[in-house]
Amino acid sequence: MEIYDHPTFRMACHQFDLVADYWQIPDNERARLKFPKRSMTVALPIHMDDGSTKVFTGHRVQHHLTLGPTKGGLRYHPDVALGEVAALAMWMSWKCALAGLPYGGAKGGIACNPSKLSMTELERLTRRYTQEMIPFIGEKVDVMAPDMGTNEQTMAWMMDTYSVHTGYTVPGIVTGKPVSMGGSLGRRESTGRGVGYLINRAMDTIGLTPGQSRAVVQGFGNVGSVAAFSLAKFGVKVVGVSDVSGGLYNANGIDLLKLDKHIAEHRSLAGFTEAEPISNAYLLELPCEILVPAAMERQITETNAANIKCRILAEAANGPTTPEADVILDQRPEIFVIPDILCNAGGVIVSYFEWVQDLQSFFWTETEVMDKLFRILEGAFVQVLNLSRKQKVSMRMAALGGGVKRVQDGKRIRGLFP
Ligand code: NAD
């Protein structure tokens, strides 16, 4: 499928091929499992604040519809491309299936730099994208959520635009909304808290003590910052953090509350004086027990995989490790990898809870949400760990295998029409 050609899509396909070979998925089932069901690309003309008109490009990819509606985030980033979105949709499929959620995977994105757009421009862009997507989405068809560069406000504009079209409020059209608009308690923190929970389980598994462990977090956004605070709560010392402007290092630990305040004031961690500025590349190679890439794809590559110095690699971002880096990590059994489709699954699990609450108009307490979240994550962690040990395969192969096989089973049972 040439339309999807992109380094990240090739990476997702390569991972799928490894899983299909290992679990001997028959040739005539592979293309059906691998390629997206459908995709849509739209031109988004909007009025800019200076009076000019600018046209942005938006995409949405629905990977498979076998297990239920599709579900996945919406990303605003200058590098958004159809192939990247398709790869992220494919990973969402395996992630939802691994967690046992009744969804296929989807992803969307607009190629733009949200930090360079005003609130009014962002609102017009979001509303226009939603309007263009109306024939393609629905609360029983395809449900969006925040991802890089988008947030609760983005979801509220989407819900409002869709609801204006239908003539009544449809909270189930998106998840990750503000709680006052039908969002779920705990959704904003769910991905990062899930990352924290799984790191704690991994520390337990390999015998690390939180109080003697150091963490480094790449990307101090929604996921990375909440994961960092969760780790600090367990007693882990966070010694390195970064955002798109660069990294910070303090061997004695970074004061996260002060850093958070600095970011709230400056919208960036640049200029924070209580840590030493370092590059994002160097940050990944810092000595630590826990390394959490929580920003972009393809950060751990064949160039730096041999140099990372952690004991746990917790993939909070989607696709942070390339297949070439995986080959190197497979030769480094001292590193325990929590693969992305498991590590960051907390977000889509609580999105699923939010969707269920919206459909029923019956809302749960934060304790109920968190209890249910940790129960699902625990089940998925044990399933992946046991499969990895039993089959003597990497945690990634075990996680992807669990997800892909559930979708394969679904397709087999439903059959092929006509
Ligand atoms: P976000 O926009 O809130 O934060 C992203 C952070 O990464 C920001 O601090 C940004 O400055 C930083 N960043 C961007 N490019 C960078 C680079 N090249 N080097 C270092 N830092 C960089 O996004 P988020 O929602 O926290 O998402 C982060 C990752 O987690 C993405 O891979 C996303 O797909 C994944 N994810 C998010 C969720 C969710 O619920 N938000 C769920 C699952 C997975």
pLDDT (0 to 100) of residue 120 = 98
CB-based pocket (< 6 A), ligand 1: 146-149, 191, 218-224, 242-244, 280, 294-296, 316-318, 344, 347
Distance CA 248, CA 101 (A): 37
Among protein residues, the one with the nearest Cα to ligand 1's atom 5 is 221
* d(CA 147, ligand 1 centre) in Å: 7
Distance CA 185, CA 188 (A): 8
* Count of C-beta atoms within a 10 Å radius of residue 229: 17
Are 313 and 321 within 8 A, CB to CB? yes
* d(CA 296, ligand 1 centre) in Å: 6
pLDDT (0 to 100) of residue 1 = 76
Closest CA to 297 of 15, 2, 1, 30: 15
Distance CA 23, CA 21 (A): 6
**In angstroms, how far is the first alpha carbon of the chain from the final one?**
23
Q: In 189-244, which ranges are E strands?
A: 214-218, 237-243
Contacts of 167 (CB under 8 A, 6+ apart): none
Are 53 and 47 within 8 A, CB to CB? yes
* d(CA 157, ligand 1 centre) in Å: 21
Residue 51 carries which side chain, given as an amino acid letter? Answer: G
Contacts of 145 (CB under 8 A, 6+ apart): 71, 72, 73, 74, 155, 174, 175, 176, 347, 348, 351
Which one of the listed residues 107, 177, 237, 405 is annotated catalytic?
A: 107
Distance CA 162, CA 171 (A): 9
Distance CA 5, CA 320 (A): 18
Q: Encoding tokens for residue 405? A: 């096989």
Residue 405 among the catalytic residues? no
Nearest atom in ligand 1 to 247's CA: 20
Closest CA to 256 of 274, 270, 268, 271: 274
Are 12 and 87 within 8 A, CB to CB? yes
Residue 306 carries which side chain, given as an amino acid letter? Answer: A
Per-residue pLDDT of the chain (418 residues; tens, 9 = 90+): 799 999 999 999 999 999 999 999 999 999 999 999 999 999 999 999 999 999 999 999 999 999 999 999 999 999 999 999 999 999 999 999 999 999 999 999 999 999 999 999 999 999 999 999 999 999 999 999 999 999 999 999 999 999 999 999 999 999 999 999 999 999 999 999 999 999 999 999 999 999 999 999 999 999 999 999 999 999 999 999 999 999 999 999 999 999 999 999 999 999 999 999 999 999 999 999 999 999 999 999 999 999 999 999 999 999 999 999 999 999 999 999 999 999 999 999 999 999 999 999 999 999 999 999 999 999 999 999 999 999 999 999 999 999 999 999 999 999 999 9
Q: Is the pTM of this model over 0.95?
A: yes
